[in-house]
Amino acid sequence: MVGINSQIYSQSGGFMGISFAIPIDEAMRVADQLRASGKVVRGRIGVAIGPVSKEVAEAIGLSKAQGALVSNVESGGPAEKAGIEGGDVITRFDGKLIERSTDLPRLVGATRPGSKSSIQVFRRGAYKDLTVTVTELKEAPTRGGPEVGESRGSSSFGLSLSDLTESQRKELKLRGGVRVDAADGPAARAGLREGDLILSVDNAEVSSARQLQNLLGKLEKAKVISMVVRRGEATSIVLLRPGR
């Protein structure tokens, strides 16, 4: 036996030959826990993740479209304590390759809470090896978005920008970042909007609106510019196409 059927696909209410199964190793792990303690315990590291598309992989310099793109890191959670950041791509967990983003929750969930696990991330063009302490899966807290500062600059890409104050950076736990006050033209078409925080451009960290303008000025002839952008509690990679 390789799995236990959990669902069937049907348009008529009867079996059509297609079913969805739980892998047998996962089913046995759950059964062992239920026998031992009467409940199922799963591990967590406190990240929200998504897939890595081929386009994103090419833009950030990742050799293959694989791994789990970190969109949010829980404040004070295991991942933050380990040094994982929004925009990182998790490529390995405990030495196991993360081919699809869905591989990570399965591997983390099967890890005993309290265990220290190795984790490899791809960040700004380089791989980093970190260690994370897995905790027991519980509902993660959420919080609202931050206040933002006044506008100071603009760019030819359709961006109006402002610097974050020191207190805002401290509240957001950011070393740098620039706020988007308005987005038009190429920036709007890329999906940027008011209130977004641009953290890096083409693997270079952003610390001020002036620096960001200078970086974009040097990239006007680029086909695609990758940006790590934070919106509320979520972090994503945005692909900006100059002149389009």
**pLDDT value at 141 more than 50:** no
CA 188, CA 240: separation in Å to the nearest integer?
A: 9
- Contact between 164 and 179 under an 8 Å Cβ cutoff? The reply is yes
CA 82, CA 101: separation in Å to the nearest integer?
A: 19
Residue 127 pLDDT: 96
Q: Is the pTM of this model over 0.75?
A: no
Residue 110 pLDDT: 86
pLDDT tens for 103-129 read 998 899 889 899 999 999 999 999 999
pLDDT tens for 214-241 read 888 888 878 889 999 998 888 888 898 8
**pLDDT value at 54 more than 70:** yes
Residue 129 pLDDT: 97
For the chain, give the mean pLDDT: 80
Nearest to 126 by CA among 222, 196, 33, 200: 200
- Residue 47 bridge partners (DSSP): 73
Residue 92 pLDDT: 97
Does residue 67 sit in helix, strand or coil?
coil
- Contact between 90 and 70 under an 8 Å Cβ cutoff? The reply is yes
Task: Name the more confident of 35 and 69.
Answer: 69
Domains along the sequence of the chain with CATH: 3-37 (no CATH), 43-136 (2.30.42.10), 153-240 (2.30.42.10)
pLDDT tens for 78-109 read 999 999 998 999 999 999 999 999 899 889 98
Residue 57 pLDDT: 92
Phi, psi of 208 (to 5 degrees): -155, 160
- pLDDT band for position 151 (cuts 50, 70, 90): very low
Phi, psi of 47 (to 5 degrees): -130, 150
pLDDT tens for 191-218 read 898 889 999 998 889 989 889 888 888 8
**pLDDT value at 31 more than 70:** no
